[in-house]
Amino acid sequence: MSVIKRLSGIVQAKTNKLLDKAEDPRETLDLSYQKQLESLQKVRRSVADITTAKKRIELQAGQLKAQADKLQQQARAALTQGNEDLAREALSRRAAIGEQLADYQRQHEQVAAQEQKLIETAQRLQTAVDTFRTRKETLKATYTAAEAQTKIGEAVTGISDSISDGGLAMQRAQDKVESMQARAGAMDELLSSGALSDLSQPVDDIQAQLDQLSKGSAVDAELAALKAEVTSGSPAGALSQGPTGPEPAAGPPPHQAGTDDITEEP
């Protein structure tokens, strides 16, 4: 039995939670206000009905009073004519009408008291309805403002999240760019040092060894030239032309002594 009660409580709690989530306070307030207006309308109808009943009693009492007055006149007329029995009958009927009039008077007083109570109730209910309507509109306006502020906050939060996501994406892109630049620089350095082969200009191992040997010979020759320059004090360029020195510059052939070639000096 306790399990069933717990399940019932869980279902009720879940249902109430769903209803609370789906409920709009503004609609609830409008519905409550509508019900109060309906109650006020019912009270007003009751006041109208009881007022109608009071008026009906007053009309009937007026008719009976008119009959009583007529019987009074008829009894007087009968006595004038010496017909005492007829006068007594008229007065007897008038007395019966008087009892009815007294009964109508009591009913009229009761209905009038009920009418007054209903009128006071309607007035109090009208005041309560007016107060509720003012409060309702205030609460609705407050709820609407709070809802708008909440939506604006959610929108701003969404924008902030978007900006934050954009900043993170930009940072990741910057990190990738820097990583790619570093990788490219490392590849260029490895290619320049010969640690890696340029795939666009493939070189086998033998050729790479020959190129390295040529580079080593050139370095050795330059080192020897620098040593010779330091030792002799002559420019390194002159030593690099060979041990026999530079060849003589080409010029005109030497002249042979003759009479044709001798000229007198002025």
**Domain ranges, ordered by start, for the chain:** 10-173
Percent of the chain with pLDDT over 90: 23
pLDDT at residue 123, rounded to an integer: 92
User: What pLDDT band is residue 266 in, cutting at 50, 70 and 90?
Assistant: very low
Residue 240's pLDDT is what?
44
Q: What pLDDT does 19 receive?
A: 58
Cα-Cα-Cα-Cα torsion 69, 75, 80, 82, nearest 10 degrees, comes to: 180
pTM here?
Answer: 0.48
Alpha helices (H) along 194-204: none
Q: Write out the H or E segment, with its range, that includes residue 82.
A: none
Q: Which residue has the higher pLDDT, 196 or 133?
A: 133
Backbone φ/ψ region at 92: left (φ over 0), alpha (ψ -120 to 50), beta: alpha
Comparing 13 with 49, the larger pLDDT belongs to 49
In percent, how much of the chain has pLDDT > 70?
Answer: 67
Q: Contact at 8 Å (CB) between 86 and 78?
A: yes
What is the Rg, in whole angstroms, of the alpha carbon atoms belonging to the chain?
65
Work out the average pLDDT over 97-123: 91
Which pLDDT does position 233 carry in this prediction?
64
The arithmetic mean of pLDDT across residues 139-161, rounded, is 79
Residues contacting residue 53 through CB under 8 Å, at least 6 positions apart: 111
Q: What is the DSSP letter of 195?
A: S
In this predicted structure, the answer to whether residue 262 has a pLDDT above a threshold of 70 is no
Compare 216 and 65 and report the one with higher pLDDT.
65
Task: Give the pLDDT score at 110.
Answer: 92
Task: List the Cα angle 220/222/226 in 5-degree steps.
Answer: 115
